[in-house]
Structure 1
Amino acid sequence: MIGVRCLGPANWTVYVQVNISVTGNFLASTRTLPSGTMLTSDDIAVRSGDLTTFPNSILTDPTQAIGKRLRAGIMSGAPLRSDLLVASWAILQGQTVRTVANGSGFSVSSEGKAISNALDGQVVQVRTSSGQIVSGIAKPNGIVDVSH
């Protein structure tokens, strides 16, 4: 309800019921997708509708979803929400990775196997070819920075 008031000599107030809607674009799934799916541009579509009917976590820009994984499965046409998505792994358990150590005037690298999954920027442990376990920061493309 909104109050409309006249402050003139005939002072009065009238309350009027209103419905507010905000039409805008939001993201929806193009098909039924299982939990764990990494979203690509083929999995999402831009739809238009009343944004006030959705929770605040509704996504409106494809860059908010592409490359993220679904925390739970969703039905075809379901709106995408930020609380349904998690970042994708930069490193997967068992993946062959390249450990890199950079210093003043030098760079050393070797191969190893990731002991666990890790997001970009997280600490991950790697078993080197000699059996030694080292820790480093997960980077995209199977790189682990052990320079710290």
Structure 2
Amino acid sequence: MAQPVDKIHTATSWLGIRANICLISGLLLLMPTVVTGKQSTETLRQTVLKFLQVQTEKRAEQDIEISVGRIDRRLKLATCQESPMAFLAAGAKLQGKLTVGLRCTGPKPWTVYVPAHIKIFANVIAAAQPLLRGSEISATDVIFVRQELSQLRSGYFIKIESVIGKILTQNLSAGHAITPKRVKAAFLVRRGEKVTIEVSIGTLKVRGKGEALKDAARGELVSVRNSQSKRIIQGVVTKPGTVNIQM
């Protein structure tokens, strides 16, 4: 008579175990899924590229090239549940070489820095042929060349009229950009030319004639021989053919 009792007890135990298994399975389904695995480095590079494209979209009229460096594949970054947040360091310039940070704030947070390069190109004024220091630039001396602006730290010109008549302060090879540091203002007074001498005494101005003894641009000091007295005096070039002397 004891055997039926044992069978009933055993059956009841199995029913309890199965119920517990079902309960545990149900609870596991209700728990949030934790994504594991390795973050794709190519996905991170694309995130950086899109971030920089958005940051530079206000420069749509400019010729811009963006390149993103490679990320070390040996990095073991956990897959981010949400898109990593891209950011720039304070004061970072959107030109030349820079670094973009990517931050994941998921269950397994991480931060990684990705190198990038933003190249901004423009057609700038350059020497059409070798030009010598001291020569005056004419329209036939210049051409347009496409150059990356981050390489022209001392500036550049994009209009031909901005350089015509200016004087080179150094020798320049063909194809090299003409920059503000490589030129100075055009000569307004030429050596040997007749000039007007303006002598300023307070509000009074007395004019005379003289001969310039060297080439000079606006604001430069130049020696002049007075046509009447033959004395050599110095004054400042104020406009074409005019030298001012303050008394």
Please report the TM-score for the alignment, with normalisation by the length of structure 1.
0.77
- Equivalent residue number for residue 233 of structure 2: 134
Q: Give the secondary structure class of the aligned counterpart of 2:118.
A: coil
CA distance in 2, matches of 1:140, 1:105: 19
- Structure ranking higher in helix proportion: 2
CA distance in 1, matches of 2:205, 2:114: 71
CA distance in 2, matches of 1:106, 1:24: 50
Q: Structure 1 residues 9 and 145, CA, compared in 2 at 3 Å: closer, same or farther? A: same
- In the alignment of these two chains, the number of paired residues is 147
Q: Shift in Å at residue 5 of structure 1?
A: 1.0
Give the letter aligned to residue 84 of structure 1: R
* CA deviation string 1:46-73 (max 9, x = no partner): 3333223x23014133354332211222
CA distance in 2, matches of 1:109, 1:123: 18
Give the letter aligned to residue 103 of structure 2: R
Q: Give the secondary structure class of the aligned counterpart of 1:59.
A: coil
Does the aligned pair in 2 maintain the 1:26–1:58 contact within 8 Å?
Answer: no
Q: Give the secondary structure class of the aligned counterpart of 2:140.
A: helix
- Equivalent residue number for residue 74 of structure 2: none
- Equivalent residue number for residue 59 of structure 1: 156
Q: Shift in Å at residue 90 of structure 1?
A: 2.4
Indicate the structure whose relative CO is greater, using CA pairs within 8 Å and at least 6 residues apart: 1
Q: Structure 1 residues 122 and 56, CA, compared in 2 at 3 Å: closer, same or farther? A: same
Q: Give the secondary structure class of the aligned counterpart of 1:42.
A: helix
Does the aligned pair in 2 maintain the 1:120–1:140 contact within 8 Å?
Answer: yes
CA distance in 1, matches of 2:208, 2:197: 5
Equivalent residue runs for 1:1-148 within 5 Å: 1-52=99-150, 54-62=151-159, 63-101=161-199, 108-130=206-228, 131-146=230-245, 148=247
Q: Shift in Å at residue 147 of structure 1?
A: 5.4
Q: Shift in Å at residue 107 of structure 1?
A: 5.5
Q: Which has the larger radius of gyration?
A: 2
Identity %: 27
Q: Structure 1 residues 110 and 50, CA, compared in 2 at 3 Å: closer, same or farther? A: same
Q: Structure 1 residues 3 and 61, CA, compared in 2 at 3 Å: closer, same or farther? A: same
CA distance in 1, matches of 2:107, 2:167: 63
Does the aligned pair in 1 maintain the 2:200–2:206 contact within 8 Å?
Answer: yes
Does the aligned pair in 2 maintain the 1:58–1:79 contact within 8 Å?
Answer: no
Which moves more between the two structures, 133-142 or 99-108?
A: 99-108
- Quote the RMSD (CA, aligned, Å): 2.8
Q: Shift in Å at residue 76 of structure 1?
A: 2.0
Q: Give the secondary structure class of the aligned counterpart of 2:223.
A: strand
Q: Shift in Å at residue 104 of structure 1?
A: 8.6
- Structure ranking higher in strand proportion: 1
CA distance in 1, matches of 2:101, 2:222: 59
CA distance in 2, matches of 1:65, 1:105: 35
Which moves more between the two structures, 76-85 or 105-114?
A: 105-114
CA distance in 2, matches of 1:15, 1:103: 67
